[in-house]
Amino acid sequence: MIDKLFLLSNEKYEALSTGLQKDIYQEYYQFVYSAIIFMVKNHATTEDIIQTSFLKVIEKIPPGLSNVQLKSWIKVVVRNSVHNYFRKTKKNRNDIDSDSVYINESTDYATESASIEREIELKVMTETIGVCLNEMKPEYKALIELRWKKDLSYREMAAELDTTEDKVKYKLYRAREALKKRLFKRWGGSYE
């Protein structure tokens, strides 16, 4: 699989023919796509990460790597690119994302109906959680929002609320349980 990519360790990408450049990119794309989509769960983001990591690879590839070493090095570059993406989007990471619940390996990203369906499910889920949060005690609502929307640690939450970490953990546990009960009640399930 890495045969054409192996050319990169001996020659400059720009010096190769356009056809060979396309072949190398396609091979790279197929090599890294499944690992990235598994981590980010979003096709468009995966495409972006593939492009940025490919640029890093062709700019900074160490000369004289064996096929196995090249493969390992590419995996490290891709992993670091994904970590950089997560670092940049840390504030949004804890938002509710139904894609992470509904994605599977056989998802066809070209179908518009599946994409629209996921958007609708996400919107309904987000609205339902918002309604349930608004029905909760203000104290519980504030704890959940501090934890997931502001991404505060228990220590930071305790400092902001002028209480102990143990009390924050206990009350946040109770808040989560209350939210679960409300969601199960709305979605018709039984919570035990």
Within a domain: 109: yes
Question: How much is the average pLDDT of 147-166?
Answer: 86
Within a domain: 191: no
Task: Give the separation between CA 56 and CA 60, rounded to whole angstroms.
Answer: 6
Nearest to 169 by CA among 143, 142, 138: 143
Within a domain: 178: yes
Within a domain: 97: no
- pLDDT tens-digit map of 77-99: 988 898 888 888 875 555 544 44
pLDDT of 131 above 80: yes
> Which pLDDT belongs to residue 190?
57
In a shared domain, residues 81 and 13 = yes
For residue 121, give its domain range: 103-186
Nearest to 27 by CA among 64, 66, 57, 69: 57
In a shared domain, residues 108 and 52 = no
Residue 153 contacts by C-beta under 8 Å, 6 or more apart in sequence? none
Q: 102 pLDDT band (50/70/90 cuts)? A: very low
Question: How much is the average pLDDT of 139-149?
Answer: 84
pTM of the model: 0.46
Q: Which CA distances in Å does 91 have to 41, 58, 147, 152, 164? A: 17, 31, 11, 10, 24
- Structural domain ending residue among the three candidates 60, 92, 124: 92
CATH label of the domain that carries residue 180: 1.10.10.10
Beta strands in the chain (DSSP E): none
Within a domain: 151: yes
> Which pLDDT belongs to residue 52?
92
- Number of folded domains that form the chain: 2
Check residue 6 and report its DSSP letter. Answer: G
Within a domain: 127: yes
Q: Helix-strand-coil percent breakdown of the chain, rounded to 5?
A: 75, 0, 25
Question: How much is the average pLDDT of 145-151?
Answer: 82
Question: How much is the average pLDDT of 2-23?
Answer: 75
Cβ atoms 115, 42 nearer than 8 A:
no
CATH label of the domain that carries residue 12: 1.10.1740
Within a domain: 192: no
In a shared domain, residues 73 and 134 = no
